[in-house]
């Protein structure tokens, strides 16, 4: 008799921020591993495109528009995904955006908007999905944080505040979910080559990088690929019952000399 009931064979996954970067790579990897996957982001066309491509490779997928800043949109996404694929066993909260203002130059609406996407957006998902997981006695919730929690970076104060908030929320969630069978985990990527920051103009990008160097934050020029972070997320959600990877930080390895 196992100490814990093993995961079911079929584990539907919801992935937010699935139109690009880490979310798209995570949806792709989970689908390749046999999980039915629901992809959500504001650019629904990109989610549909990826979902269709994965379907051609034999995956079970679903795509739907999602704005994590809007509670109604989150409700629609979660219920449409459950209708299409069944109750979610895995949720990956990866939606997020980044602007490059200094805190004192950012207006409070802009500050609140970033917190609203990263932190409240993750909570919107958690509040929609976790009660059902608790009822079923199992489930995995991955909150994508950032290494800025350990080593804050200039020009992203609202983002740093939101990611600290996510980790605070995750820690409490872990305590509150202890003994329910539901595992909440933090995955904390370091610098990753994705769509994030790609909208900055060259001057801003140059300034930001100089400031990071000044604060000792750019130790080497290698970035993670989104697939590297997706691989860590897959390890977290596929950890066997009886184990819980509570926090995984992923950093790019430096070039071998
Ligand atoms: N790149 C890095 O260096 C790095 C490092 C640490 C942590 N992270 C975290 O990794 C996560 C994924 O980011 P990424 O690096 O993969 O960047 P990305 O390529 O820009 O992807 C961000 C995703 O979030 C979605 N998104 C943004 N706002 C949204 C909203 N309101 N509602 C729904 N979806 C929204 C975007 O899709 P739409 O625009 O279509 O909505 C996109 O799919 C973020 O939480 C980010 O903070 C990234």
pLDDT of residue 195: 87
What is the rounded average pLDDT of the residues 174-183? 98
Closest CA to 147 of 128, 163, 135: 163
Q: What is the phi/psi pair of residue 65, to 5°?
A: -65, 145
Concatenated DSSP letters of 27-77: HHHHHHTT--EEEEES-HHHHHHHHHHHHHTT--EEEEE--TT-HHHHHHH
Which residue has its alpha carbon closest to ligand 1 atom 2?
A: 192
Residue 197 CA to ligand 1 centre (angstroms): 10
Residue 20, ligand 1, Cβ within 6 A = yes
Q: Which of 147, 159, 191, 234 is catalytic?
A: 159
pLDDT higher than 80, residue 19: yes
Maximum C-alpha span of the chain: 62
> Is 159 among the residues known to form the active site?
yes
Q: Which CATH number fits domain 13-249: 3.40.50.800, 3.40.50.10790, 3.40.50.720, 3.90.550.10?
A: 3.40.50.720
Q: Which two tokens stand for residue 229?
A: 């972070």
pLDDT digit string (tens) for 109-141?
999 999 999 999 999 999 999 999 999 999 999
- Decide if 144 contacts 187 (C-beta within 8 A): yes
Residue 42 in contact with ligand 1 by CB distance below 6 A = yes
DSSP state for residue 104 in the 8-state scheme: G
pTM: 0.97
Q: Is 68 in the pocket of ligand 1 (CB under 6 A)?
A: yes
Instruction: State the average pLDDT for the chain.
Output: 95
């Amino acid at each position: 008799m196992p100490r814990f009931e093993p995961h079911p064979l079929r584990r539907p996954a919801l992935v937010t921020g699935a139109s690009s970067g880490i979310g798209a790579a995570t949806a792709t990897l989970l689908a390749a591993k046999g999980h039915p996957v629901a992809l959500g982001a504001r650019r629904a066309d990109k989610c549909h495109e990826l979902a269709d491509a994965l379907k051609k490779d034999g995956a079970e997928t679903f795509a739907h528009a999602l704005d994590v800043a809007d509670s109604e949109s989150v409700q629609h996404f979660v219920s449409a995904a459950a209708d299409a694929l069944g109750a979610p066993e895995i949720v990956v909260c990866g939606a997020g955006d980044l602007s490059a203002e200094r805190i004192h130059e950012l207006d409070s609406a802009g500050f609140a908007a970033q917190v609203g996407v990263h932190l409240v957006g993750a909570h919107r998902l958690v509040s929609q999905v976790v009660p059902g997981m608790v009822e079923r006695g199992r489930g995995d919730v991955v909150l994508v944080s950032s290494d800025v929690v350990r080593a804050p970076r200039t020009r992203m104060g609202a983002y740093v505040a939101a990611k600290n908030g996510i980790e605070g929320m995750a820690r409490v969630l872990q305590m509150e979910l202890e003994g329910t069978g539901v595992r909440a985990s933090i995955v904390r990527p370091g610098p990753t080559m994705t769509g994030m920051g790609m909208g900055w103009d060259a001057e801003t990008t140059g300034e930001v990088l100089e400031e990071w160097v000044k604060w000792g934050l750019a130790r080497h020029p290698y970035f993670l690929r989104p697939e590297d972070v997706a691989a860590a997320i897959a390890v977290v959600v596929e950890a066997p019952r009886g184990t819980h990877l509570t926090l995984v930080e992923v950093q790019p390895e430096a070039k071998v000399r």
